[in-house]
Structure 1
């Protein structure tokens, strides 16, 4: 699909549509939608900003490429004056006192936020069922989950309710729902986009990520949000990616480096992978080979080790990050006979079962007698995983993988079996631990393919995605 952003921009410039009419159309569609993607509509703000864009066009002023483009925001981002609920009981009445850096950059470019989107509470889940607003329903089949934790964001893009949406990816929370709903979803290199104003889940892997219907729209939004931020010490300086740089090339060997791709054979030889996803992935590999591209099977950590390592560290970090949510400074406070009991009942009553499971698990991991045995071992494994990636990218330019081992489950199934839900992240969490740029594309298997490159090689990921559009 060609760039929707560029198409709408041209329509606005040519006065074929008004920005106000466009925004109202999207708001009406969101109001009527039955996929449970909406936590709150930003009607007043969106229409106010649209009127400003229309006034500029009427006056003959030049508008920017993103000016007037409607987008959605996963409800874990701050947008001053709007609700930031994290789909939780604890923060259901909380209003943002400031705006996240990534969102502010989009506002500065003229993009118009129209909706705060449903998600797993605090990002805790892989199905967007762990939410006070009701389970997000898949864009193709409402009996299936929308994926998570950025399920509302992915479904809104897939259903054309938003032109793009901003999700958050900790262990696959942009990539997996993008795969479930057949759209593009990017987890950039860790630190490329500031995390300031994103509610922290696991600070060492949290990434701001765009979801859209084309590689070009991903590129446009990524460029706007990227950059060093004094408010986030983990943020990094990065170069802008040009449209010319990612255009489709006829031969992958002309891209960069060795012109080889790799895949992890233990992902594909795993007993847990769906037979059709496996067969489709291997077919995609053969089509790539037919283009004369070298493909190398790589050894990697077993998927259960990746999942265990990720959840050990992620639970530890979320237990620490959510310790501030006690009803005193944030959220709905429930009074009891003393301060300690007030803290206890506030957190017990307002956190979901999944969030409590992760906090308890994290506190266990960090507790005396367990931290050396479990947490420090997890840190050592993460270092080993990163070293493995460094060695792999000396041999190949791109690693290709399925996004998920299975197709989307039915709504309700994940809640019955949290362990199965964790294992659905088996193919995404490793790249999060390595802090690598990874893109889901809606091709190759029923839940798409995942393209990964070495750190700071986001451009190469987008370039190869364009290459695959004409290859598989």
Structure 2
């Protein structure tokens, strides 16, 4: 029987209808959003793209005035995390190093949105180079939670999540390496997707850890996630890890009848860091699924400490390698000293944040002679085991469910005092990153949402189950 439940309304479709029927002009729509972004007290803005956005909006209004058809995304205002290239705009990565850097080209995912007529209106505050889980590691000041400004927004795509939650943007494009879209989505009560690794091109996204970096949309409905995902997915000759993927049709999302069994990681819920209310709410959500006839299976996974350690060893190694290009020679803020070696040292010491330096030093340590065999290669082996474990799990279950975070959003300032606690807040997100699996934060079920994960390339199944979860919870 077709579900009669009304799902969260698509803002993209609603605004599209308003534009087509001339209830609102595109210029007025964009100006309203820009005004809200100017006034915001959450610290989510690095730069407004006002002149550029209003020019694009005028072109959309001109098309409508001539009676021409416009595409579904045409004229829709969106936000861009400030680690994506957009030609001619400052792309700072919220860092001192690149605060004067202007993009020479446009990232593939952003270009696809431009080609579809969507309008970028803001470069969004984020943790510097994606390093952080609280969005406090930024030269522009901490991003504050959309629901309570005394709390962090989550990182590293905190600005993107807040702008969607506050309706400053219709959707935003973030980057997710170990949970950087999903965790702030959970903290701010919006949907955030980390697609299957390689589904969306990383070309033009500043690399943090290349083997887990993903481009991901944040929005207020499953339908808007689907529309944006379809637009930005696909093979890209500029990114060899990309693959061809088929479009996800809206009608297929209503049919989750093929999903019979869900699994959850029982041992992760028993971790000391687990907030009792999040655990209780999550278990209650599982009971509601059981009542709908869905089989729920407890799975035994690696412990949280192993997952977090493995992820951070590999991520730090990759970021040390990726950021070695930043020495002030070709781009970035150069500081001259007595000689070349000193110039490199001072430039990197002064321009990287404490958290970025922590990760670069850690990465160089695990890659160094005498340590790489013991630490780095061992982590690669654990990563292979994680992938094999997931293959086994998905022979038994169709979906894996988990909380998004073990705890509630911390107060602004607390995470800076305790980096280890910040790393442990990623306990539920990093495993799926290491497995390169599609994972969606749904803002239901617990105070910081529930995470839906499926096997590789099964992004459609994740969205299908999100609809089922909306009906159930």
Give the alignment's TM-score, normalised by structure 1. 0.98
Segments of 5+ residues of structure 2 without an aligned counterpart are 1-7
| 1:126 corresponding residue in structure 2 | 133
2:13 matches 1:10: no
Query: What is the alpha-carbon distance in structure 2 between the residues aligned to residue 48 and residue 343 of structure 1?
Result: 41
| 1:177 corresponding residue in structure 2 | 184
Q: Could you say what secondary structure the match of 2:396 adopts? A: coil
Taking the TM superposition and a 5 Å limit, the aligned residue runs for 1:134-173 are: 134-173=141-180
Taking the TM superposition and a 5 Å limit, the aligned residue runs for 1:128-277 are: 128-247=135-254, 249=255, 252=256, 254-256=257-259, 259-277=260-278
For residues 244-291 of structure 1, the C-alpha deviation after alignment (integer angstroms, 9 at most, x for no partner) is: 0112x4xx5x225xx100000012122210000000000000000000
| 1:285 corresponding residue in structure 2 | 286
Q: Could you say what secondary structure the match of 2:209 adopts? A: coil
| 2:3 corresponding residue in structure 1 | none
2:22 matches 1:21: no
2:47 matches 1:40: yes
| 2:106 corresponding residue in structure 1 | 99
2:473 matches 1:466: no
Query: What is the alpha-carbon distance in structure 2 between the residues aligned to residue 343 and residue 308 of structure 1?
Result: 30
Moved over 4 A (4+): none
| 2:332 corresponding residue in structure 1 | 331
Query: What is the alpha-carbon distance in structure 2 between the residues aligned to residue 203 and residue 80 of structure 1?
Result: 22
TM-aligned CA deviation for residue 423 of structure 1: 0.2
Query: What is the alpha-carbon distance in structure 1 between the residues aligned to residue 244 and residue 355 of structure 2?
Result: 36
Segments of 5+ residues of structure 1 without an aligned counterpart are none
Query: What is the alpha-carbon distance in structure 2 between the residues aligned to residue 240 and residue 3 of structure 1?
Result: 18
Query: What is the alpha-carbon distance in structure 2 between the residues aligned to residue 255 and residue 333 of structure 1?
Result: 57
| 1:418 corresponding residue in structure 2 | 419
Query: What is the alpha-carbon distance in structure 1 between the residues aligned to residue 263 and residue 335 of structure 2?
Result: 53
Query: What is the alpha-carbon distance in structure 1 between the residues aligned to residue 129 and residue 370 of structure 2?
Result: 28
Query: What is the alpha-carbon distance in structure 2 between the residues aligned to residue 407 and residue 454 of structure 1?
Result: 28
TM-aligned CA deviation for residue 119 of structure 1: 0.3
Query: What is the alpha-carbon distance in structure 1 between the residues aligned to residue 124 and residue 166 of structure 2?
Result: 13
2:86 matches 1:86: no
Give the alignment's TM-score, normalised by structure 2. 0.98
Query: What is the alpha-carbon distance in structure 2 between the residues aligned to residue 255 and residue 51 of structure 1?
Result: 46
| 2:5 corresponding residue in structure 1 | none
Query: What is the alpha-carbon distance in structure 2 between the residues aligned to residue 65 and residue 182 of structure 1?
Result: 25
- Residue correspondences, number: 466
Query: What is the alpha-carbon distance in structure 2 between the residues aligned to residue 268 and residue 131 of structure 1?
Result: 31
2:311 matches 1:304: no
Q: Could you say what secondary structure the match of 1:393 adopts? A: helix
